[in-house]
């Protein structure tokens, strides 16, 4: 479906676009015709994805951003707004997985980083890009979550707490914009996927048994053109 240029003329921003599901989603959106703004911390990694998109005939712009820096998201939104009059799609893929440990032994520095990337940066993205998304004819926000946000799991407390807060922010925002704009919000659980984060969490797992990030990317691309009810949730199995 992505090859049919279903997103031709759209402007999309993908966080965490330098690897894994974020990179695969950015490439899928570009193949579908969108101009994709790639964000992540490392410029060199983003440049590789940008080159691959350009080589495939797509359009992309890199915007290196460290989501832990104060005002980083606001500066990004200002830069995007200076170039485009709207943002059609926002895919929040960036996430930080802190060390897996018991709640009693959560390391404060790790927890603070997870809270900053997974929660505070999410609120900043929703706030900073609100106006640009509302200018779109069909603004769409897709946030990538994890099953632990709703299903407690021993030793996953730090990450689970941040993803639960992540989901709540998206759900509340979905209700707040539903009646005053055409913006729609969806939460997608990618399920078990072959990523570096997954490998860190499950080091003994056979990666060959997991689905490719491209599978998740294809589903996100298809979802962006659907008229789903705001607050939509789904899992990609």
Q: The domain that contains 51 carries what CATH number?
A: 3.40.50.720
User: What's the domain range around 198?
Assistant: 2-235
Q: What's the pLDDT band for 2 if we cut at 50, 70, 90?
A: very low
**What Å distances lie between residue 89 and 11, 36, 154, 210, CA to CA?**
6, 9, 35, 27
pLDDT of residue 4: 83
Q: Which residue's structure tokens are 């069909």?
A: 138
Q: Tell me the average pLDDT of the chain.
A: 97
What are the beta bridge partners of residue 35?
A: 11, 59
pTM reported for the whole predicted model: 0.97
Which of the following is catalytic: 96, 111, 156, 159?
Answer: 159
- Token code pair at residue 193: 């996927």
pLDDT of residue 3: 64
pLDDT of residue 1: 40
Q: Indicate the number of domains in the chain.
A: 1
Residue 199 has pLDDT above 90, yes or no: yes
Longest dimension (CA), the chain: 51
96 belongs to the catalytic site: no
């Amino acid at each position: 479906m992505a090859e049919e240029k279903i997103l031709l003329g759209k402007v999309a921003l993908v966080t965490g676009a330098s690897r894994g599901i974020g990179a695969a989603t950015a490439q899928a959106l570009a193949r579908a015709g969108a101009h994709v703004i790639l964000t992540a911390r490392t410029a060199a990694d983003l440049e590789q994805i940008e080159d691959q998109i350009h080589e495939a005939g797509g359009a992309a712009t890199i915007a290196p951003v460290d989501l832990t820096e104060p005002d980083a998201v606001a500066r990004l939104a200002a830069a995007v707004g200076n170039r485009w009059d709207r943002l059609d799609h926002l895919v929040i893929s960036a996430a930080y997985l802190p060390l897996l440990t018991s709640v009693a032994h959560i390391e404060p520095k790790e927890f603070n980083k997870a809270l900053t990337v997974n929660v505070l940066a999410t609120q900043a993205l929703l706030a900073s890009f609100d106006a640009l998304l509302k200018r779109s004819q069909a603004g769409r926000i897709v946030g990538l979550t994890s099953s632990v946000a709703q299903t407690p799991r021993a030793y996953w407390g730090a990450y689970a707490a941040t993803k639960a807060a992540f989901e709540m922010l998206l759900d509340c925002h979905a209700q707040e914009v539903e009646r005053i704009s055409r913006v729609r919000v969806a939460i997608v659980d990618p399920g078990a996927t072959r990523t570096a984060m997954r490998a860190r969490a499950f080091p003994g797992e056979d990666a060959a048994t997991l689905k490719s990030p491209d599978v998740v990317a294809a589903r996100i691309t298809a979802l962006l053109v659907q008229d789903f009810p705001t607050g939509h949730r789904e899992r990609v199995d």
